[in-house]
Structure 1
Amino acid sequence: MLPRRRALAVATLAVALAAPLAGCSIADKIVGEDPAPVDESPQKARAHIEAYLAAMTKRDTAAGRKLLCPTLVGTFDKTATGEGGDFNKKTKVGPAQVTDVRADGDGQLVTAAILVTPPGGKPTPVGVTFLVTNIDSGWCIAREDRAVVLPSMPAAASPSPSQ
C-alpha cells in the first residue's frame, strides 16, 4: 500500500506544480507567440487595379466593369467608351503601372501611371488614383479620381522580394 500512496502523492504533486506553470509564459517561450495577422489589403488592392489597367489596355469593358463597386457601374456604363473614357476605342492605353498603395479609412488608395495616346495626339503620361475597398461581394473599385498629367512615366518598379 505504501508504494501506491507514494505514487499517488507524486502524481498529485506533479499536477499541483504543473498547474501554476500553465499560466506562465514558459510555454510561450518554447513555442513562440502567435504570429500577428497579415493585412493583405495593399496586395489585394494592387492586384485589383493591375487587373483594371490590363482591361483598359485591352479595351475589355466587361472585364473592367466587373472590377467596379455597384455604385460606379451606372457611371461606367455611360462614360467608359465615350470621349475621355477609360475604354474609348480610339484612345490607346498602355503601358500602365501601379506606383503607390496607401491605406485610406476602410480602403486603399492605389495610384497608377498610364501612358495615354488620344486620337491624333501624342502619348501623354497621366496619373490616376483609385479607391479600392472590400465590400460584402469582395474587392472593388469605389472611386476613380480625375487623371493628372505627369511630367514623364515613372521607371518600372522592380518587384519586391515578397512578390
Structure 2
Amino acid sequence: MGQTHRATVTAVTLLALLPLTLAGCGLGGDDTAGGPATEANRAPADEAAAKSRERVQAYLDAMAAKDADAGRSQLCAPLQARFDADATGPNGDFADHFTVPQATITDVRSGPHGQEVSTAVTVAVGSRKATRALLFTVTRSGADWCITGEAPGGNSPEPAVTP
C-alpha cells in the first residue's frame, strides 16, 4: 500500500507543477487580450506600419520628383486607372504648375480600412506656399502593400508611449 500511496503523491505533485513549468516555457502564460503585447503579436503590426510608411514615402518622393510612373506603382490596381486621368490634371498630385518642396509623414496607425498614414505636404506655386494634410490608406494586396486611398485630412500624431 505504501508504494501505491507514494506513486499517487508523485503523480499529484507532477500535475500540480505542470502549469508552472509550461508557463515558464511560454505555454499557458497570461497572453490575455488586455495584457502587454508579445513579440509575436507586435511583429505583424510593426510590419504593416513599416510597409505602409514605405509605400507612402515612395509616393511622396515620386510627387516631389514629378515621376508619375513611380507614383502609379505605389497604388493598388483599381486606383491606377483613375490616377492616370487625374494625377497630371490641374489639381492632380503631379500637376506641372506646382512643386512639392516638403512632404512629411506625421503619423501611421491602424484604421478601419487598413493602415492610415497621415502626411503634411507643402505645395508651392511661384512664391506662394501652402501646407495641406493628406491621409493615405494602405492595405496588403497579396504579398505586397499598396495605397488604396488618398483624402484631405489626417490623424494627429499619437503621443509617444514611454515604458
Calculate the TM-score normalised by the size of structure 2.
0.69
Distance 1:87 1:142 in 2: 18
Q: Which runs of 4+ in 1 moved over 6 A?
A: none
Check 1:134–1:84 CA distance in 2 against 1; reply closer, same or farther (3 A cut). same
Bigger Rg, which one: 1
For 2:141, give the aligned amino acid: I
**SS of the residue aligned with 1:68?**
coil
Residue 141 of structure 1: CA displacement?
Answer: 0.7
Question: Residue in 2 aligned with 1:46?
Answer: 53
Question: Residue in 2 aligned with 1:63?
Answer: 70
Match of 1:143 among 139, 145, 149: 149
Matched, 1:72 2:79: yes
Matched, 1:131 2:126: no
Distance 1:89 1:146 in 2: 20
Distance 2:80 2:136 in 1: 15
For 2:121, give the aligned amino acid: I
For 1:36, give the aligned amino acid: A
Calculate the TM-score normalised by the size of structure 1.
0.69
Aligned length: 135
What's the RMSD between the two structures over aligned residues? Answer: 2.8
Residue 74 of structure 1: CA displacement?
Answer: 0.9
Residue 22 of structure 1: CA displacement?
Answer: 8.7
Residue 63 of structure 1: CA displacement?
Answer: 0.9
Match of 1:100 among 103, 107, 121: 107
Q: Is the 8 A contact 2:138 2:148 kept in 1?
A: yes
For 1:80, give the aligned amino acid: A
Residue 78 of structure 1: CA displacement?
Answer: 0.5
Residue 90 of structure 1: CA displacement?
Answer: 2.2
Residue 20 of structure 1: CA displacement?
Answer: 4.1
**SS of the residue aligned with 1:86?**
coil
Residue 147 of structure 1: CA displacement?
Answer: 6.3
- For structure 2, the residue ranges without an aligned partner over 5 or more in a row are 1-6, 30-37
Distance 2:70 2:143 in 1: 16
